[in-house]
Amino acid sequence: MENIIKVLHLEDSLKDFELIHSIIEGGGIAHEYFLADNEKDFINILETEKIDIILSDNHLPDYNGNEALKLVRENYPYTPFLFVTGTMGEDAAIESMVNGATDYVLKDKLERLVPAIKRALHENELEINRKRTEKTFLQSEENYHRSISESPLGIRIISIEGETIYVNKAFLDIYEYNSLEEFRCIPAINRHTPESYVQHQIRKEKRKNGHDIFDYEVSIIRKNAEIRYIKVWRKEVLWDGVKHYQTFNLDITEQKQSEEALNNSQQELRKFATHLQHVREEEKIALAREIHDDLGQILVALKIDLGMFEKKLSKGIEATTSEELLSKLNDLTGLVEKTIKSARRIMNGLRPELIELLGFEEACKSYLRDFEETHHINSRFESAIMNLNIDLEQSVALFRILQEALNNIIKHAKATLVTVQLSNPAGKLVLKVFDNGVGFDENNKGRQDSYGLIGMKERVFLLDGNLDITSKVGKGTSVKVEIPYQTI
């Protein structure tokens, strides 16, 4: 069961409180929330609840964040304290960090809030574990040596001269070495990435000048050539009664990868938002063109024919034969039917009403027939499902994916045959669209990140499904969508 953290928020703006609270709820943090807008309530909550993290505005009418920070650091030194404020200058930010603030987030950059909270809680947990470990170390030399050898953190003991004299098993596991001797045999330049080695040399020079650094990150190269990211804490200790340096090493590679994945996700969302805007504009242009080029011209022709028909009638029925009247009426009826057909086609492009009238499969068949007639590309629809049972939301999403796949084929594939297959293996509904076109190189990331493909990914994500796109140059392209499916 996930731990529920207790969050104390010092804030006098109800609007800001509701916004920040909603962001935390949306960030997947299990929590219990407490709000205080004055000193008395703030102190009372601290005394009656075991608060895990504090968020504080900088300026309140009768209280301020710096006073709250001082109180917390004096009485609750390990509780993370984050400023969440509208404005904070660089000097004020530095002063708050010096006074013990964990971090600060500006209210116009609240996308940083959830990662900052998670990082603060994570680092606080590490800090508490480190303090506990240190307390154990101080009990006795024997307990100290035994506890560091069994510590889940990688621990390294370094002499004043810079020689490594001890490493525990967790440290060797980080580097994938088997012994201290093997570690010593590998030069530092070969254990670090080039960028990290430069920083290593800078730290060495600073230490020579009396400016030690006790908290930093390194990127290392393991024995198997894998790159890992390590958080390092460095401190002075007595080892066998002699002054040494001890480093705690924590592998934070997964955290780094998560942050990178989050950044990539945010970039994709921005791309998709841009794509949606482009799509809206393109749809407006296409709709206007269809109305002008198709409906507009038909209606003009209808108006002209009606005018000519009116002139004939004005000369008298006797001057016009019944054959001429019937012919002209047939022409007018044809134009009206053509207008209705065009209007339905335009409306169907905006909202596929065939899905609601006939179901997903028939809508796909109808769309493929129009596709084949318009673009002169042969198409096939194959279904292995009897009595397809999906709701309207799923139907529309899959139909839009089919449309996007066919649009990509029109633009890029140069195909002569398109096949659409529908199947339901092992509790899944599978829609597959493949062609015999020119294909593309799957290593071409720019093609994989195109707006259309991003749109497909977003639709599949909302259906809790998977999207798989495979292609080979000269061998065509396959778009495969899998979503959960329950048969009746």
For residue 355, what pLDDT is reported?
83
pLDDT at 1 over 50: no
User: Which of these ranges, 32-46, 124-138, 162-176, 419-433, has the smallest mean pLDDT?
Assistant: 124-138
Closest CA to 212 of 221, 222, 202, 220: 202
For 329-340, write each residue's pLDDT tens digit. Answer: 777 677 777 776
For residue 350, what pLDDT is reported?
58
- pLDDT band, very low/low/confident/very high, at 349 (cuts 50, 70, 90): low
For residue 127, what pLDDT is reported?
84
The arithmetic mean of pLDDT across residues 308-314, rounded, is 67
First to last CA, the chain: 34
pLDDT at 317 over 60: no
CB under 8 Å, gap of 24 or more: what pairs does 148-152 form? 148/246
Residue with the two structure tokens 């209808």 = 302
The arithmetic mean of pLDDT across residues 13-30, rounded, is 90
Locate the domains of the chain by residue range. Answer: 5-132, 140-251, 260-350, 352-488
For 131-160, write each residue's pLDDT tens digit. Answer: 877 776 565 556 566 667 778 889 899 998
- pLDDT band, very low/low/confident/very high, at 282 (cuts 50, 70, 90): low
pLDDT at 90 over 90: no
Report the share of the chain in percent with pLDDT over 70: 80
Say if CB 200 and CB 192 are below 8 A apart: yes
Q: β-strands 476-484, 227-239: how paired?
A: unpaired
Q: Which CATH architecture has domain 5-132?
A: 3-Layer(aba) Sandwich (3.40)
Say if CB 454 and CB 268 are below 8 A apart: yes
For residue 300, what pLDDT is reported?
65
Structure-block tokens of residue 99: 């006074």
The arithmetic mean of pLDDT across residues 392-415, rounded, is 90
**Single pTM value for the model:** 0.40
User: Higher-confidence residue: 346 or 466?
Assistant: 466
User: Higher-confidence residue: 106 or 264?
Assistant: 106
Cα 154 to Cα 252: distance, rounded to the nearest angstrom: 12
- CATH assignment of 140-251? 3.30.450.20
The arithmetic mean of pLDDT across residues 373-383, rounded, is 93
Say if CB 34 and CB 51 are below 8 A apart: yes
The arithmetic mean of pLDDT across residues 185-193, rounded, is 91
The arithmetic mean of pLDDT across residues 216-226, rounded, is 91
pLDDT at 275 over 70: no
Cα 195 to Cα 205: distance, rounded to the nearest angstrom: 16
Among 270-274, 325-329, 395-399, the range with the most confident prediction by mean pLDDT is 395-399
Rg of the chain, C-alpha, whole Å: 35
For residue 137, what pLDDT is reported?
59
The arithmetic mean of pLDDT across residues 410-415, rounded, is 91
Class of the CATH-defined domain 352-488: alpha beta
Closest CA to 238 of 159, 154, 162, 152: 159
Q: How far is CA 422 from CA 49, 383, 419, 431, 432, in A?
A: 57, 5, 10, 5, 7
pLDDT at 86 over 60: yes
For residue 45, what pLDDT is reported?
94
What three-state secondary structure class fits 76? coil
- pLDDT band, very low/low/confident/very high, at 405 (cuts 50, 70, 90): very high
Residue with the two structure tokens 């499904």 = 465
Conformational region of residue 418, where left means phi above 0, alpha means psi within -120 to 50, and beta covers everything else:
beta
Closest CA to 219 of 184, 178, 249, 264: 249
For 54-82, write each residue's pLDDT tens digit. Answer: 999 988 888 988 999 999 999 998 899 99
* Mean pLDDT taken over the chain: 84
Give one DSSP letter per residue of 28-55, joined into a string.
T--EEEEEE-SHHHHHHHHHHS--SEEE
| Sign, Cα dihedral of 295, 296, 298, 299 | positive
Cα 475 to Cα 432: distance, rounded to the nearest angstrom: 16
User: Higher-confidence residue: 329 or 96?
Assistant: 96
The arithmetic mean of pLDDT across residues 49-53, rounded, is 93
Closest CA to 102 of 87, 86, 122: 122
